[in-house]
Amino acid sequence: MGRSSVFDLLGPIMVGPSSSHTAGAVRLGAMARKILGEEPIGGTIRLHGSFAKTGKGHGTNLALIAGLLGMRPDDERIPEAIQIAKAQGLNFTFESADLGDFHPNTVQFELLGKTGGHAQIVGSSIGGGTIVIRRINDYKVEIRGDYPTLVILHQDLPGLVAQVTLLLATAQTNIARMMV
Q: What is the CATH number of the domain that holds 129?
A: 3.30.1330.90
pTM of the full predicted structure?
A: 0.85
Residue 10 CA to residue 6 CA, distance in Å, equals 6
Q: pLDDT (tens digit, 9 = 90+) per residue, 109-167?
A: 999 999 999 999 999 999 878 899 999 999 999 999 888 888 888 888 999 989 999 99
In-domain check, residue 81: yes
Total tally of structural domains belonging to the chain: 1
* Amino acid identity at 105: N
In-domain check, residue 177: no
- Look up the domain containing 54 and give its range: 6-147
In-domain check, residue 174: no
Nearest to 18, CA basis, from 56, 52, 48, 44: 56
Element (H, E) at 16: none
* Residue 3 to residues 6, 20, 125, 129, Cα–Cα distance (Å): 10, 20, 20, 17
> Taking residues 21-46, what's their average pLDDT?
94
Torsion angle (degrees, nearest 10) of CA 61, 64, 67, 71: 20
Q: Is the pLDDT of residue 89 over 90?
A: yes
In-domain check, residue 161: no
